[in-house]
Structure 1
Amino acid sequence: MGFSLLFSFVIVVGIYNCSEAREPVCSKFAYEEQLLEKMIRTEIKVETMVNEIKKTEENVISTLGDIKRAVADFTDMFADMKENITDEIERREESFKKLFEETRTNLTSDMEAKREELTQLQEKLERPPIVFHAHHVADKLLDKTDEIIIFTKSVINEGTGYDTSTGIFTAPVGGLYQFSVHTCAYIGKYALIGLVLEGKVIAADMNYDKYYHTCNTVAAIVRVRSGEKVWVKSTASGSVHQLLQNADAMNTFSGLLLNN
Structure 2
Amino acid sequence: MLSVMEHRKVEMKQEFSKQNQQIGQILDDYKKIREELNEKTAQLEKLAGNFTSTPKIAFNAYTRSGKNYGNSQTIVFPDVLLNEGGGYDKITGMFTAPVAGLYYFSVHICQAKAKYVVAAIVHGHTTIAVTSEYESIGASCSSVMAPVKMTLGERVYVKCTHPSVMLADAQYRWPSFTGVLFSI
Alignment TM-score, normalising by the size of structure 2: 0.71
- Name the residue aligned to 1:118: 47
| Identity over aligned pairs, percent | 35
Q: Gapped runs of 5+ residues in structure 1?
A: 1-110
Q: Is the 8 A contact 1:151 1:167 kept in 2?
A: yes
Which residue among 103, 106, 112 is the counterpart of 1:180? 106
> What is the CA distance between 1:139 and its match in structure 2?
6.0
Name the counterpart of 1:133: 60
Q: Distance in 1 between matches of 2:121 and 2:112?
A: 20
| 8 A Cα contact 1:140 1:244, kept in partner | yes
Distance 1:153 1:171 in 2: 19
2-structure distance, mates of 1:147, 1:139: 14
What is the aligned partner in structure 1 of residue 167 from structure 2?
Answer: 244
1:74-223 to structure 2, matched below 5 A, reads 118=47, 121-125=49-53, 128-136=55-63, 140-142=67-69, 144-223=70-149
Q: Judging by fraction of residues, say which structure has more helix.
A: 1
Shift of 1:137: 5.8
Opposite residue 168 of structure 2, the aligned amino acid is: Q
SS in 2 for 1:129: coil
Work out whether residues 145 and 234 of structure 1, in 8 Å CA contact, stay in contact via their aligned partners in 2.
yes
User: 1:8 — aligned with what?
Assistant: none
Match of 1:228 among 149, 154, 160: 154
Give 4+ residue runs of structure 1 displaced > 4 Å after superposition: none
**Alpha-carbon deviation of 1:122?**
1.5
**Match for 1:233: what amino acid?**
K
Amino acid at match of 2:113: I
Shift of 1:149: 0.4
SS of corresponding position for 2:47:
helix
Verify the 8 A CA contact 1:138 1:151 in the aligned structure 2. Answer: no
The 1:222–1:128 alpha-carbon spacing in structure 2 relative to 1, beyond 3 Å, is closer
Change (3 A) 1:167 1:137: farther
Structure 1 residues 93-120: Cα deviation after superposition (integer angstroms, max 9, x where no partner):
xxxxxxxxxxxxxxxxxx9xx97x936x
Partner residue, 1:42: none
> What CA RMSD, in Å, does the superposition of the two structures yield over aligned residues?
2.2
Q: Counterpart of 1:162 in 2: which secondary structure?
A: coil
Query: Residues 24-68 of structure 1, C-alpha deviation per residue, up to 9 Å, x if partnerless?
Result: xxxxxxxxxxxxxxxxxxxxxxxxxxxxxxxxxxxxxxxxxxxxx
* Number of residue-to-residue matches in the alignment: 142
SS at match of 2:73: coil
Q: Report the alpha carbon displacement of residue 226 of structure 1 after superposing the two structures with TM.
A: 1.1
Counterpart Cα distance in 1 of 2:93 and 2:66: 12
- In the alignment, which residue of structure 1 is the partner of 2:16? none
Code of the residue aligned with 2:50 in structure 1: it is Q
**Max radius of gyration: which structure?**
1
Q: Which has the higher contact order (CA 8 A, sep 6+)?
A: 2
- Deviation string, structure 1 residues 69-110 (Cα, Å, up to 9, x no partner): xxxxxxxxxxxxxxxxxxxxxxxxxxxxxxxxxxxxxxxxxx
More strand by share: 2
Structure 2 stretches lacking a partner, 5+ long:
1-39
Q: Which amino acid aligns with 1:223?
A: K
